[in-house]
Amino acid sequence: MDDFASGAVVRILLRGMTARGLAAPCALPDGARVSIEQKRLVIAHISRSGGLSLVFTLAQQIERIVGEPLYSAFASARDPHDLLVRWQRLERYVHSRHCVRVVACSAAELVLEHAARSDTPPLPEESAAVLGVWVGALRLLGTQDLHVEVGGQAIFGANAPGKWHDTAAQHWRIRWTASTAQSSATWGRSTMEGLAPWPWPEPAAALATWLAGLLAESPCVADAAKALRMSRRTLQRKLAAAGVGFGELRAEVRVRVAAVWLAQATLPLPEIGFLCGYADQAHFTREFTRLAGLPPARFRATALGY
């Protein structure tokens, strides 16, 4: 898929290759997007060097993109189920040609399939890379007793040999006992200094501050009420007294946070839209233009003096 998620995965893999002293088949991409050809070139080169096991191992090292907003969005997931929700929202946002489908789900187990949305299935190397990123994120979340099977064979966890059958790369079973994750959403909170004072009275202002740090999770009014320790009906009544609805306030917060990110030249537009909770790039462009008066790209050009 030609998107910023692929760009992050390619950077993880290339930096991992360099750390192991392996020759990289291409330069480290500066931008967020890479072509499908470039991604497949990298994973094929790694596979020739060490098979799917090496692709899987290198892709786990997501700390190699620490500081990137996408890293924080996944590293701040509450638990494996929340990570799944975030990953699937990313797939929808970028209109990915491949997706992670749920076959079965329980409190401490996920049975997943890495499948195609159309007729072209993912390459085994692509499935190995995606699962590697997943395992890397789960380890960051403090997931305990993590055990991963691919095609019925253990490839991660206690006593796992770590060897792959190439034909079974798309079918995963992930088990764990507990997760010690605490959602931090550091990417959102780091923007707070760049936001102007909220134009609403309490508790709307407190809600805006809470939303600004959690946009990547797409919080709903029920989540907000729980966070503010009041019933949903009470929150809605107080917001009405402040002259703003939950949806209107969330839309305004999204635009304000996006504007702060747009003023930084290093962050690509698609990544900003995803991290601010928009459904896809078209939704980001439409809503930002409606509330800010300019499309995101023109707003950035104006802010940076292009």
One fold for 4-179 and 186-304? no
| pLDDT at residue 193 in the model | 56
- Map out the domains of the chain as residue ranges: 4-179, 186-304
* pTM exceeds 0.95: no
Q: What CATH topology corresponds to 186-304? A: Arc Repressor Mutant, subunit A (1.10.10)
How would you write the pLDDT of the chain (306 residues) with one tens digit per residue? 456 667 888 999 999 999 999 999 988 876 666 788 888 999 999 999 999 999 999 999 999 988 776 787 787 788 899 899 888 888 888 778 889 999 999 999 999 999 998 778 889 999 999 999 999 999 988 999 999 999 888 999 988 876 776 667 899 999 999 876 654 444 444 455 557 578 899 999 999 999 988 888 778 899 999 999 999 999 999 999 999 999 999 999 999 999 988 887 777 888 889 889 998 889 999 999 999 999 999 999 888 877
| pLDDT at residue 117 in the model | 85
SS (H, E, C) the chain: CCCHHHHHHHHHHHHHHHHCCCCCCCCCCCCCCCCHHHHHHHHHHHHHHHHHHHHHHHHCCHHHHCCCHHHHHHHCCCCHHHHHHHHHHHHHHHCCCEEEEEEEEECCEEEEEEEECCCCCCCHHHHHHHHHHHHHHHHHCCEECCEEEECCEEEECCCCCCCCCHHHCCEEEEECCEECCCCCCHHHHCCHHHCCCCCCCCCHHHHHHHHHCCHHHCCCHHHHHHHCCCCHHHHHHHHHHCCCCHHHHHHHHHHHHHHHHHCCCCCCHHHHHHHCCCCCHHHHHHHHHHHHCCCHHHHHHHHHCC
Q: What CATH topology corresponds to 4-179? A: H-NOX domain (3.90.1520)
| pLDDT at residue 187 in the model | 46
| pLDDT at residue 191 in the model | 54
